[in-house]
Amino acid sequence: MVKAKKFVTVKHFQGEPKPSDLKLVEEELKPITDGEFLVEAEYLSVDPYMRPYAVQYPLGITMIGSQVAKIIESKNPDYPVGKRIVGYLGWRTHTVINPNMPPEIELPSQKPYLISDIGDLPPSLYLGVLGMPGNTAYFGFEKLCSPKSGETLVVSGAAGAVGSHVGQIAKNVFGLTVIGIAGSNEKCKWLVDELGFDSAINYKTQNISSALKKAAPKGVDIYFDNVGGEISSTVLYQMNSFGRISVCGSISSYNEDHSSLPKCTQIQAAMVFKQLKMEGFVVTRWNDQWQEGIQKNLQWIREGKVRYRETVTKGFENMFEAFSEMLKGKNVGKAIVQV
């Protein structure tokens, strides 16, 4: 009999998530039957979407999330023992999967899928640059921003999983000038010195408006927005005519009460007089091209065009800590938990 550990929700997040909002429990799993297989989690993802999405489900569910897991028992020939999958199985160590049955929580995500061995690269990348964040950067930038060589891009949340990847694709694949906005000097230094961004602005210590005027004296053509709020309003007023804005995330508001969101500068004047185009997206829009995105990102890693970084927290019991620290900006690159 296999015992799984899992985190269940006991209180909906209000403001900053608290450890007491979740409870770690054990669950005895039933033996697998024909068509089923059993997986053991190796790496789990902690992502910003978990904060706004988790509150939409009833209390008592397994906390939502994806993981890379190894198949340790199988009665399904399509999922042999020893192979790995990526699945939205929640914060749990062991899971019995029947690919034909709906999961406990239906997210607008892919069904569990087998992943290939990537040799010297760690399988955890399937939660980052070769997974949802990598595809968010790839599709959200290329499909919505119409990038042209020589243009100038600003990306916020620049030192995170999505932002660091967007900046590198823009710079090294499309030949743009790239300016990152991030929350510490260490992050800004990493963006410029290691990833090759042209410049970076620390939004916690610098005046974004004047720093951006210096970094982009000819204005901004594309803004990839991971954070929303006043940072984004400031960037919009420095955009060139016919600029494009890809609205990927709004992490600056995720801990806020949605009935009284923080006010920020109106953007309509910038939108009208500069004839800007702004589009929001959710990456599952490109579910039917998911593997194409993974292959493209893998190719760029192999060619040395993009680099990745992970902030790894060890121990399944530390899931909450990893989640909370990511929301507070303690991660550089992709935040993951290694079981």
Ligand X SMILES: NC(=O)c1ccc[n+]([C@@H]2O[C@H](COP(=O)([O-])OP(=O)(O)OC[C@H]3O[C@@H](n4cnc5c(N)ncnc54)[C@H](OP(=O)(O)O)[C@@H]3O)[C@@H](O)[C@H]2O)c1
CB 36 within 8 A of CB 90: no
Residue 325 CB, nearest distance to ligand X (Å)?
9
Residue 326 touching ligand X (CB under 6 A): yes
Residue 169 CB, nearest distance to ligand X (Å)?
14
Applying the rule CB under 6 A, the residues between 124 and 163 that interact with ligand X are: 132-133, 136, 157, 159-163
Q: Which residue is nearest to ligand X (CB)?
A: 160
Binding range to ligand X, per CB under 6 A, among 16-24, 263-271, 314-322, 328-336: 328-336
User: Which residue from 13, 15, 249 is spatially nearest to 132, judged by alpha carbons?
Assistant: 249
Instruction: Give me the residues paired with residue 335 across strands.
Output: 311
Residue 265: partners with Cβ closer than 8 Å, 6 or more residues away? 230, 233, 234, 237
> What does the alpha-carbon distance between residue 213 and residue 95 come to, in Å, rounded to a whole number?
52
Measured from the CB atom, the residue of 46 and 270 that comes closer to ligand X is 46
Bridge-based pairing state of the strands 37-45 and 94-97: antiparallel
**Interacting residue with ligand X among 331, 336, 337, 338 (CB under 6 A):** 331
Residue 215 CB, nearest distance to ligand X (Å)?
16
DSSP letter assigned to residue 333: B
Residue 309 touching ligand X (CB under 6 A): no
Residue 52 CB, nearest distance to ligand X (Å)?
8
DSSP letter assigned to residue 129: T
**Interacting residue with ligand X among 211, 249, 337, 338 (CB under 6 A):** 249
Applying the rule CB under 6 A, the residues between 223 and 242 that interact with ligand X are: 226-227
CB 147 within 8 A of CB 170: yes
Measured from the CB atom, the residue of 74 and 109 that comes closer to ligand X is 109
Amino acid letter, residue 215:
A
Cα 238–chain centre separation = 26
Residue 251 CB, nearest distance to ligand X (Å)?
4
Residue 197 CB, nearest distance to ligand X (Å)?
13
CB 81 within 8 A of CB 71: yes
3-state helix, strand, coil in the chain (%, to 5): 30, 25, 40
Applying the rule CB under 6 A, the residues between 163 and 192 that interact with ligand X are: 163, 182-184, 187
User: Which residue from 283, 246, 254, 248 is spatially nearest to 108, judged by alpha carbons?
Assistant: 283
Measured from the CB atom, the residue of 66 and 226 that comes closer to ligand X is 226
Measured from the CB atom, the residue of 173 and 227 that comes closer to ligand X is 227
Measured from the CB atom, the residue of 298 and 332 that comes closer to ligand X is 332
Give the 3-state secondary structure of residue 141.
helix
Bridge-based pairing state of the strands 277-280 and 239-247: parallel
Residue 195 touching ligand X (CB under 6 A): no
Amino acid letter, residue 124:
S
> What does the alpha-carbon distance between residue 106 and residue 129 come to, in Å, rounded to a whole number?
24
Measured from the CB atom, the residue of 79 and 88 that comes closer to ligand X is 88
**Interacting residue with ligand X among 110, 264, 329, 339 (CB under 6 A):** 329
Bridge-based pairing state of the strands 113-115 and 84-87: antiparallel
Instruction: Give me the residues paired with residue 152 across strands.
Output: 177
Binding mask 39-68 for ligand X (x = CB under 6 A): --------xxx-------------------
Residue 179 CB, nearest distance to ligand X (Å)?
14
Residue 245 touching ligand X (CB under 6 A): no
> Which residues in this chain contact ligand X in the complex, by CB under 6 A?
47-49, 132-133, 136, 157, 159-163, 182-184, 187, 226-227, 248-252, 281-283, 326-327, 329, 331, 335
